[in-house]
Amino acid sequence: MTASGPLTLPSTRPRLVEGRGQVSQAIVTSLRTGAPLTCTQDVVGTDPWGDDLQLALHLLYELHYQGFHGVSDDREWDPHLLRLRRSLETCFLDAVRAALPSTPKTVSEAFAPILVEPIDLAGSLSHRLETSGELWQLREYAALRSIYHLKEADPHAWVIPRLTGRAKAAMVAIEYDEFGAGHPEQIHARLYADLMNDLGLDPAYGRYLDQAPAALLATVNLMSLFGLHRALRGALVGHFACVEVTSSPGSRRLARAMRRCGAGPAAEHFYAEHVEADAVHEQVVRYEVVGGLLADEPDLEEDVAFGCAATLLLEERLALHIQNAWDRQRSALRTPIPTA
């Protein structure tokens, strides 16, 4: 047996941020020092929408993605961290269900509101950016969304081994496109990094985590929560379908916003790419992924509907947070980013 040397991890892994409360700080301390988790707080009373719980969940989920600089890969399966994560997930998921008292029960009911674009787009964030958004707002929006887009499609890949037949084949076909169709320079996460470069932002993975508010973290945590639990595979499919159905119109508006503000060719290209690709993906995901899943497991229809409804709920909460900040000419981030 040979002694193991010092832990060395790729420099591309994000660095840990400071906690935003008792729970998240306990996680940060444990990960940073390698010491056992000391947090014994009952998380039942923790605000499920607050910074502390949402950051805590995000930190624990990231152990299943890129991890953190200086943190051992073994911590991914630390039983104390997993036990705490389960408590946090229960608190969060209960809050999401409570906020949806009239959750749709069928796929048709869940998707009806988003299959036709509304005539009045006054409350649409992408419409605001398209028509009156300023460059500083586009940069903030890009920094916020980078928490997901720099790992775009990764959370949804968890569902692939849990599908069969038509649903699996269609899901793999869509993910193949998301991951560049065999061309690393076309991976959507790479295209988003190019977008950030055009906007004068740092494209490093996890760079803007410290500035991301709870409302943003909740949208990313939701897909990780669905993805990491086989029991929630129907909800993850519902989430994925909702994203694909709503992506093309919003991407078209955001491409126009980037062009109008002179954000740069890569910034415009990222959204222009999604206009065409996601228009195709919408049909495949609705009829083959969702349709194939429910043909195999019809009892999951209510879960698929819940996944769609939960996605819309959290996106609306995030949009409200951003709009309220911008209406006051304030940053939607926890701390403003430097001017380009």
- Position 202 in a domain: yes
For residues 57 and 128, state if they share a domain. no
CATH assignment of the domain containing 174? 1.20.910.10
For residues 297 and 169, state if they share a domain. yes
Of 244, 269, 254, nearest to 186 by C-alpha is: 269
Note the pLDDT tens digit of each residue in 255-302: 999 999 999 999 999 999 888 777 788 889 999 999 999 999 999 999
Provide the pLDDT for residue 43.
76
- Position 127 in a domain: yes
For residues 90 and 116, state if they share a domain. no
- Position 15 in a domain: no
Q: Which letter does DSSP use for residue 295 in this model?
A: H
Considering 55, 70, 98, which residue would you say is the last residue of a domain? 98
- Position 10 in a domain: no
For residues 224 and 81, state if they share a domain. no
- Exposure string over 73-107, b if 16+ CB within 10 A, otherwise e: eebeebeebeebbebbbebbbeebeeeeeebbeeb
Please identify every stretch of the chain with a pLDDT value under 50, giving residue numbers as ranges. Answer: 1-11
For residues 113 and 238, state if they share a domain. yes
Task: State the total domains in the chain.
Answer: 2
What does each C-alpha distance from 2 to 7, 9, 72, 310 come to in angstroms?
15, 20, 18, 50
CB neighbour class for 119 (10 Å; exposed up to 12, middle 13-18, buried from 19): exposed
DSSP notation for 128-156: HHHHH--HHHHHHHHHHHHHHHTTTTHHH
Note the pLDDT tens digit of each residue in 180-203: 999 999 999 999 999 999 999 999
For residues 207 and 183, state if they share a domain. yes
Considering 42, 66, 98, which residue would you say is the last residue of a domain? 98
* CA Rg value for the chain: 20
Considering 51, 77, 98, which residue would you say is the last residue of a domain? 98
For residues 50 and 196, state if they share a domain. no
pTM of the model: 0.93
Q: Which letter does DSSP use for residue 209 in this model?
A: G
For residues 156 and 74, state if they share a domain. no
φ, ψ of residue 123 to 5 degrees: the values are -95, 5
Provide the pLDDT for residue 103.
84
Of 222, 233, 237, 234, nearest to 313 by C-alpha is: 222
For residues 42 and 71, state if they share a domain. yes
Q: How far apart (Å, rounded) are the C-alpha atoms in residues 303 and 295?
A: 14
Q: How far apart (Å, rounded) are the C-alpha atoms in residues 193 and 211?
A: 18
Provide the pLDDT for residue 41.
60
For residues 38 and 111, state if they share a domain. no
Q: How far apart (Å, rounded) are the C-alpha atoms in residues 263 and 197?
A: 10
With tokens 């408590």, the residue in question is 87
- Position 205 in a domain: yes
- Containing domain of residue 316, as a range? 107-327
- Position 7 in a domain: no
- Position 35 in a domain: yes
